[in-house]
Structure 1
Amino acid sequence: MAGQLEGKKIAFLVADGFEQIELTRSRQDITEAGAQVHLVSLQSGEVQGMRGDIDKADTFTVDEIVDEVSASDYNGLVLPGGTLNPDGLRVNDKAVDFVRDFFKQHKPVAAICHAPITLIEAGVVDGRTLTSFPSIKTDLKNAGANWVDQAVVCDEGLVTSRTPDDLDAFCAKAIEEFAEGRHAEQTA
Structure 2
Amino acid sequence: MKKILLLLANGFESYEASVFTDVFGWNLYEGDRSTELVSVGLHPVLACTWGYSCIPMRQLKEIDINEFDALAIPGGFEEADFYEDAFSEEFLTVIRQFDQQDKPIAAICVAGLSIAKSGVLNGRTGTTYHFENNPRQKQMREMGVQVKSDERIVEDQNIITSSSPETALDVVFRLLEKLTSKENTIEVKRRMGFTC
Question: TM-score, normalized by length of structure 1?
Answer: 0.81
Residue pair 1:14, 1:86 contacting (<8 A) in 2 also: no
SS of the counterpart of 1:133?
Answer: coil
- CA drift of 1:152 comes to 1.4
The one-character-per-residue Cα deviations of 1:100-157 (angstroms, maximum 9, x if unpaired) are 1000111000001111221122111112211110231112112221111322111111
Does 2:115 align with 1:119? yes
Partners of 1:156 and 1:120 in 2: CA distance: 14
Residue pair 1:81, 1:115 contacting (<8 A) in 2 also: yes
Partners of 2:25 and 2:152 in 1: CA distance: 22
Which residue identity does 1:124 align to in structure 2?
V
Unpaired runs of 5+ residues, structure 1, are 1-6, 181-188
Correspondence for 1:27 among 10, 21, 33: 21
SS of the counterpart of 1:33?
Answer: helix
Aligned to 1:3: none
Residue pair 2:117, 2:143 contacting (<8 A) in 1 also: no
Q: Percent identity?
A: 24
Partners of 1:86 and 1:100 in 2: CA distance: 19
- CA drift of 1:86 comes to 4.5
Aligned to 1:131: 127
Correspondence for 1:106 among 70, 87, 102: 102
Residue pair 1:12, 1:77 contacting (<8 A) in 2 also: yes
Which residue identity does 1:118 align to in structure 2?
S
- CA drift of 1:91 comes to 4.2
Partners of 1:109 and 1:23 in 2: CA distance: 14
Which residue identity does 1:136 align to in structure 2?
R
Unpaired runs of 5+ residues, structure 2, are 29-34, 182-196
- CA drift of 1:68 comes to 2.4
Partners of 1:89 and 1:13 in 2: CA distance: 10
Residue pair 1:90, 1:121 contacting (<8 A) in 2 also: no
Aligned to 1:170: 171
- CA drift of 1:15 comes to 2.0
Residue pair 2:127, 2:154 contacting (<8 A) in 1 also: yes
Which residue identity does 2:53 align to in structure 1?
T
Residue pair 1:99, 1:119 contacting (<8 A) in 2 also: yes
Which residue identity does 2:158 align to in structure 1?
G
Aligned to 1:4: none
Higher strand share: 1
Residue pair 2:99, 2:158 contacting (<8 A) in 1 also: no
The one-character-per-residue Cα deviations of 1:54-88 (angstroms, maximum 9, x if unpaired) are x32x3222111112223212010111001246412
Equivalences, count: 168
Residue pair 1:10, 1:77 contacting (<8 A) in 2 also: yes
**1:38-49 residue pairs with structure 2 within 5 A?**
38-44=38-44, 46-49=45-48
Moved over 6 A (4+): none
Which residue identity does 1:164 align to in structure 2?
P
Residue pair 1:150, 1:162 contacting (<8 A) in 2 also: yes
